[in-house]
Amino acid sequence: MILKSITDSFASVIHGLNVQHLTDQVLQRSKRMILDTLGVGLLGTNTEVFHKTAQYSKIYSSDASSCVWGRPDLRLPPTYAAFVNGVAVHSMDFDDTWHPATHPSGPVLPVLLALSEVLPQNPKVSGLDLLLAFNVGIEVQGRLMRFSKEASDIPKRFHPPKVVGTLGSAAAAAKFLGLDQTKCREAMAIAVSYAGAPMANAATQTKPLHVGNAARHGLEAAFLALLGLQGNQKILDIEAGFGAFYSNYTPQALPALESYTLLLDHQDIATKRFPAHLGTHWVADAAASVRKYLLPTDKIKRIVLRIPDVKYVNRPFPVSEHEARHSFQFIACTMLLDGGISVQSFHKSQVDRPQIRELLDKVVLEYPPDNHPNFDTLYCEMSITLENGNTFTERCDTFYGHWRKPLNREDLEEKFRANSSTVLPSEAVEGIIKTVNRLEDLEDCSLLTTFLKGPSKKTSNCIQHVLSNHSLS
């Protein structure tokens, strides 16, 4: 078949990728992404923005419904289940980050789990089917991000998950639904008209909606394509199409399927150790190194952070948890004061502490010309000057959790346990870990939603039944 456009090449890849393209490394990396995304999503069901979006979504109903993670008594139409679960994933900015910069898993995984509950059960959708569709959604995002130099850096105009994430969601849904190549192309065209969200809403309660809407709108695009809705056949080829979101847009056709290699095979994911903007993780590790020199009696006179110029993470005096998650200054001062950063660090009572405010007043930012706003190359250098004149300087080039220094399996699972145990009983937590670890061998991927629903007598009985009838060890 002769492909007529770049858009056609995407449709061909979405339709044509198969399980043979999933190398062992891709399987292991994508399972880590899935486990981490489920954990931060479950934790996120405790947030105010989740509760508001869940309350809003209750006005919608349909014959087909999917579960809301951690809420056994709440079921929604699949598009709205994907929406609120996607919001939960990004509600604390605790989800994974890729290069070029985006949060790839949040727009995709909630869609596939919502669909897994409503698709016909004969034949059952397997764990390998889920892994393949998940990787199709991740791959589409990664390829689109490589069509512009602007996309390589930390974003300034549009929030990438609502741009590329919407198309990744549509691609994953199209794959999961078994759409033909023409309808895969239409799903991409429709998704572009759903895409886009401004960076101005970073550090607010609205930012998590970007991921939730990417999930919902991508799924809607796939459903509409399934029903025969049509769009521009060259939507990815032209500046007035997907190119409207990026300067220097230079799209290229994707490789032939016979020689296709998934980007996840070459570019791993960054996993966050605490819920804040990825750029702050370099600051935290540099501050932890400097702190080792300090005595309890030392008085700090001046704190200098040498970082990239990223305006929306330059917040000298944050007044909310969302602003604190997007503040180089707050992360530096919290690490210096407490020696660690956790979910609790962003509670209002912690953000407003007089000791934090006193330190924040001493922070100065400098922007070295060689420190570019790029998650693959940026660094943080911190210098602390004491009242006695002593100065200590440390630099972080790669934080623990970055793709060059990924979390080990034990730490990843411990993060998941800490997050998910806020809403799930221990048997469900361990059940999810074991299920994800052997996901490629699972005959029915909807088993995951049995664990995700949350505590209720009916669910607990169901979990016990599942554990007794499936070898999950």
pLDDT tens by residue, 323-374: 999 999 999 999 999 999 999 999 999 999 999 999 999 999 999 999 999 9
**How far apart (Å, rounded) are the C-alpha atoms in residues 378 and 388?**
31
* Helices vs strands, H then E, count in the chain: 18, 6
**How far apart (Å, rounded) are the C-alpha atoms in residues 379 and 306?**
8
pTM: 0.95
pLDDT value for 313: 96
- Tell me the per-residue pLDDT of 40-70, one tens digit each, with 9 for 90 and over: 999 999 999 999 999 999 999 888 999 999 9
Could you tell me if 361 and 301 lie in one domain? yes
Q: How confident is the model at residue 12 (pLDDT cuts 50, 70, 90)?
A: very high
Could you tell me if 182 and 301 lie in one domain? no
Closest CA to 76 of 47, 110, 43, 44: 110
State the DSSP code for 253: P
Is residue 219 included in any domain, yes or no?
Answer: yes
Could you tell me if 211 and 349 lie in one domain? no
- Tell me the per-residue pLDDT of 34-46, one tens digit each, with 9 for 90 and over: 999 999 999 999 9
Q: Which residue has the tokens 């979990």?
A: 463
Strand, helix or coil for residue 72: strand
Closest CA to 222 of 183, 259, 274: 183
Task: Sort residue 253 into left (φ over 0), alpha (ψ -120 to 50) or beta.
Answer: beta
Q: How confident is the model at residue 6 (pLDDT cuts 50, 70, 90)?
A: very high
Q: Residues 249-269: what's their mean pLDDT? A: 95
Is residue 469 included in any domain, yes or no?
Answer: no
Mean pLDDT of the chain: 94
**How far apart (Å, rounded) are the C-alpha atoms in residues 135 and 140?**
8
Taking CA atoms, 204 is separated from 92, 198, 320, in Å, by: 10, 12, 9
pLDDT value for 153: 84
Is residue 466 included in any domain, yes or no?
Answer: no
- Tell me the per-residue pLDDT of 69-102, one tens digit each, with 9 for 90 and over: 999 999 999 999 999 999 999 999 999 999 999 9
- Tell me the per-residue pLDDT of 275-304, one tens digit each, with 9 for 90 and over: 999 999 999 999 999 999 998 878 999 999
Q: Say yes or no to pLDDT of 469 above 80.
A: no
- Tell me the per-residue pLDDT of 104-158, one tens digit each, with 9 for 90 and over: 999 999 999 999 999 987 788 999 999 999 999 999 999 999 999 888 888 889 9
> Any long-range contacts for 48-53 (C-beta under 8 Å, 24+ apart)?
48/205, 49/87, 49/91, 49/205, 49/208, 49/209, 50/84, 50/87, 50/88, 50/91, 50/208, 52/205, 53/83, 53/84, 53/87, 53/209, 53/212
Beta-carbon neighbour count of residue 255 at 10 Å?
12
pLDDT value for 239: 93
Is residue 342 included in any domain, yes or no?
Answer: yes
Position 148, amino acid: S
Q: Say yes or no to pLDDT of 2 above 70.
A: no
* Structural domains of the chain, count: 2
pLDDT value for 454: 82
Q: Which residue has the tokens 């399972």?
A: 31
Could you tell me if 157 and 208 lie in one domain? yes
**CB neighbour burial string for 104-129, b if at least 16 within 10 angstroms, e if fewer:** bbbbbbbbbbbbbbbbeeeebbbbbb
State the DSSP code for 141: H
Strand, helix or coil for residue 275: coil
Are 161 and 211 spatial neighbours (Cβ–Cβ below 8 Å)? yes
pLDDT more than 90, % of the chain: 90
Could you tell me if 156 and 286 lie in one domain? no
Closest CA to 54 of 27, 85, 13, 28: 85
The CATH number that applies at residue 46 is 1.10.4100.10
Is residue 452 included in any domain, yes or no?
Answer: no
pLDDT value for 472: 52
300-306/380-386 β-pairing:
antiparallel
**Residue partners of 142: CB distance under 8 A and separation at least 6:** 98, 100, 104, 263, 264, 267
pLDDT value for 202: 94
Residue 176: domain span = 6-265
**How far apart (Å, rounded) are the C-alpha atoms in residues 263 and 251?**
16
Q: How confident is the model at residue 473 (pLDDT cuts 50, 70, 90)?
A: very low
Is residue 319 included in any domain, yes or no?
Answer: yes
Is residue 370 included in any domain, yes or no?
Answer: yes
pLDDT value for 462: 53
Could you tell me if 226 and 372 lie in one domain? no
**How far apart (Å, rounded) are the C-alpha atoms in residues 232 and 214?**
20
The residue out of 240, 265, 290 marking a domain boundary is 265
- Tell me the per-residue pLDDT of 330-339, one tens digit each, with 9 for 90 and over: 999 999 999 9
The residue out of 396, 423, 454 marking a domain boundary is 396
The CATH number that applies at residue 334 is 3.30.1330.120
Q: Radius of gyration (Cα) for the chain, nearest Å?
A: 22
Could you tell me if 206 and 127 lie in one domain? yes
The residue out of 368, 396, 424 marking a domain boundary is 396
**Residue partners of 266: CB distance under 8 A and separation at least 6:** none
Q: Say yes or no to pLDDT of 178 above 60.
A: yes
Could you tell me if 387 and 316 lie in one domain? yes
Could you tell me if 142 and 14 lie in one domain? yes
Could you tell me if 118 and 227 lie in one domain? yes
Could you tell me if 260 and 345 lie in one domain? no
Could you tell me if 321 and 215 lie in one domain? no
pLDDT value for 460: 54
Is residue 185 included in any domain, yes or no?
Answer: yes
